[in-house]
Chains A and B, each alone.
Chain A
Amino acid sequence: MSTLQPENPSIERRIALQRVGRIDPESIDDYLAEEGFVALRQLLQSANPDSVIEAVTTAGVRGHGGAGFPTGRKWYFVAKADAPVKYVVCNADESEPGTLKDRLIMEGDPFSLIEAMIIAGFTVGATTGFIYLRGEYNLARHRLENAIRQAEAAGFLGRDILGSGIDFSLHLHSGAGAYICGEETALISSLEGYRGEPRSKPPYPTQSGLWGRPTLVNNVETLVRIPPILRHGAAWYRASGTAGSPGTQIVTLLGDVNWRGVVEVPFGISTRRLIDDVGQGVKGGALKLVQSGGSSGGIIPPEWLDLPLDFDSGRAGVVLGSGALLVCNAHRCVVDLTTVVMAFFRAESCGKCVPCRVGTVELHTLLQRLTEGRGTLRDLSLLETMGAMVKRTSFCGLGITAPNVLLDGLRHFRDEYIAHARDHRCPAAVCAMQDSAWGELPHLATVG
């Protein structure tokens, strides 16, 4: 993984990553010297929380946690909720495979997240905030703990912030390594001390979240966009991106490319430009596919490389999700890829609902048979039926997205699955097929 290189203005625009790599993330003085806490100071002076909602709404910020929900609307819902206590929660559980954006922000610019959360608290009327941090993120935890201490000492956190009469305290909570705790209602259960399992929506967290109070849950990358928007205005933010997805998006580029790393680009850029201009081309062979949005995302076939990447491109079949792009060259096997993805969901399903708890295990079992040369065409048709069923019927987003890569794979690379199932052959020569005599056994068993 390469670290950040100097910004290349012909393709990049750094907003969320503006300070990362340029300041000492352990020094509040460095942060203050780079326009740190300017937006907060101005806001506390103007004492006009509605102006924040207006700016965020006009800027068109949408959630970077995966779902793309309009951030201004979410803030408005919590702000107008009538309750004596409200909370602000930062979703920093970043567990989507191949996604490293929130980590880079928290390790490289932790004060920006703190400033954004204080602004969020002031705007919606919350005096307590929580950061739910992925358990494995040790450096980020260290940097955030340090930043919270320094911000408290400097009067930005705690009681009567900068003499404004506003209070806000911030607490850091480390997760215990479950992917499901990134789902906002499971995160809330976990934060309350319960088993990390999703809850029914409605009620949405904006109405009844943490301890039954209206709660604002936002992703790290979403939050850190707010202070620069308040400083420079919505028009400045909208200067890049598309009409439906204004601004920028952090992309984690991985796999068979010559340069791998994290880059912030305007929305609407094509996958091809990211691979060619940022990734410096495909490594080790021709391009076969790009897996976008992490394990819960989808597959971009070569024919779709020129489609723009934004929140609405999902309609065309290109899933942006967490911004992860895994590039695969011609030596990769799509059935192998699907099996690895399904193993992830099998391990991460919380177990609450039947389709996801059992379905991911069955799908993984059937896929493993294919990669071992023990599959049948009947298995293949069951994979397709069950994959669609798990997607349709699961309780939460985990089960709903778990079959995405499988279903996209079957849509774009059906011949490769058929070669595994019928001919017990792996065209990319990745899967270690067993002796065909063994491959016939399940056949005989099911025929009776």
Chain B
Amino acid sequence: MSTILLTIDDRKVHGESGETILSVARQHGIPIPTLCQLQGASTFGGCRLCLVEVEGIAHPVSACNTPIKAGQRVTTQSPALRADRQMVLELLFAERNHYCAVCVQNGDCELQSAAAQAGMDHVRCPYLSPSLPVDASHAQYVLDHNRCILCMRCVRVCAEVEGAHTWQMAGRGIEARLVADNGVPWGESTTCTSCGKCVHLCPTGALYRKGASVAEMQKKRGFLLRILEGRELGRTGEEPTDDFLVPTVEIRS
């Protein structure tokens, strides 16, 4: 490990070798929009919202999986980046059926807020309007494919943190679909522990608690890092701080 100096948006910043542009930017309070990124899970790199410009590279790069380099000059905001991020969001809204006004997640949705922040106020390309099913076979939760943006957060957290490996991606390209246990209704999954991690970390209203009505779903997002922190304490045998003992996690069912 060695300290690396670089410049982000004309600010001199530093990070450790092996860190990504995104993580160093966040540590210095420089915001970069993301959707698929999930702190506490592995990097995916699919949403392309965290694109930034690096001097000397002709095309933008994704900040979440690009390591920092000494002397790198990074730009996180420019008219070109704004245009690219807007079009990424337009493509997401055109891909499936996102009707915020009738969505459980309205007002607490990361896709919605990313669009608002990027200033994406209309969609220029044809809506694909696919006919997609809603899987309400699980006793507590619902999967609505119409709102899934294929960010793989649920897949990663289920495999990497819960260890259940319930979720997978099936099919290719525009036909890609989230499947439980390689293709059974969620309620028939024999691996799902009903822990609810995927539900609360899903950025949109694709995964939600049964019974929630329009705009009623509030997601708990902070628990993942606390779980991982707790595991780390268990591993090292250190005493938890008072801060850690304050209960902030509460998963409603």
B-contacting residues of A (Cβ < 8 Å)?
178, 180, 195, 200, 202, 346-355, 357-362, 365-366, 382, 385-386, 389, 391-395, 400
Contacts and interface: CB of A to CB of B under 8 A. Distances in A.
Contacts of B62: 395
B84 interface: yes
B63 to A, nearest CB: 12
B173 A351 contact: yes
B120 interface: no
Nearest to A383: B125
Given A361-B174, A392-B84, A352 B46 contact: yes
Contacts of A350: 172-173, 176
Interface stretch (B70-78, B91-99, B208-216, B218-226): B91-99
A361 B84 contact: no
Contacts of A351: 150, 169, 171-176
Given A351-B172, A382-B124, A395 B45 contact: yes
Contacts of A346: 173-174
Nearest to A350: B172
Nearest to A345: B173
Nearest to B149: A354
Nearest to B89: A354
B40 interface: no
B87 interface: yes
B29 interface: no
9 contacts: A200-B43, A346-B173, A351-B150, A353-B46, A358-B94, A358-B128, A362-B91, A366-B126, A395-B46
Contacts of A354: 46-48, 88, 91-92, 95, 149
A386 B45 contact: no
Contacts of A352: 44-46
A347 B168 CA distance: 20
B88 A393 contact: yes
Given A200-B45, A351-B169, A392-B84, A357 B60 contact: no
B51 interface: yes
B57 to A, nearest CB: 11
B128 to A, nearest CB: 7
Nearest to B168: A195
Nearest to A359: B91
B7 interface: no
A361 B128 contact: yes
Given A348-B173, A358-B174, A353 B94 contact: no
Q: Is the interface of A mostly helix, strand, loop or mixed?
A: helix
Contact of A386 (B47, B67, B95, B125): B125
Nearest to A202: B67
Contact of A358 (B60, B95, B124, B169): B95
B125 A200 contact: no
A393 B47 contact: no
B252 interface: no
B88 A355 contact: yes
Contacts of A360: 173-174
A395 B48 CA distance: 8
Contacts of A353: 45-48
B188 to A, nearest CB: 22
Contacts of A359: 91
Q: Which 5 A-B pairs have the closest CB atoms?
A: A351-B176, A349-B173, A358-B91, A200-B65, A362-B125
Contacts of A202: 67
Contacts of B92: 354, 358
A357 B174 contact: yes
Given A357-B150, A358-B95, A366-B126, A393 B174 contact: no
Interface hub of B51, B65, B67, B87 (most chain A Cβ within 10 A): B87
B59 interface: yes
A346 B65 CA distance: 25
B84 A393 contact: yes
A70 B43 CA distance: 29
Contacts of A347: 172-173
A362 B59 contact: no
A389 B128 CA distance: 19
Given A354-B46, A355-B48, A362 B126 contact: yes
A351 B172 CA distance: 6
Contacts of B65: 200
Contacts of B150: 351, 357
A393 to B, nearest CB: 5
Nearest to A347: B173
B126 A365 contact: yes
A180 B173 CA distance: 10
Contacts of B125: 362, 365-366, 382, 386
A389 B84 contact: yes
Contact of A357 (B44, B126, B173): B173
A357 B176 contact: yes
Interface in B97-123: none
Interface in B39-56: 43-48, 51
B244 to A, nearest CB: 32
A164 to B, nearest CB: 39
A396 to B, nearest CB: 10
Interface in B171-200: 171-176
Given A349-B172, A360-B173, A360-B174, 11 more contacts: A353-B48, A354-B48, A355-B48, A355-B91, A357-B173, A358-B92, A361-B173, A386-B125, A389-B83, A389-B87, A393-B60
Interface string B159-177: 0000000001101111110
A15 B4 CA distance: 47
Contacts of A349: 172-174
A382 B176 CA distance: 25
Nearest to B88: A354
Contacts of A393: 48, 51, 59-60, 84, 88
Given A393-B48, A395-B45, A362 B94 contact: yes
Contacts of B91: 354-355, 358-359, 362
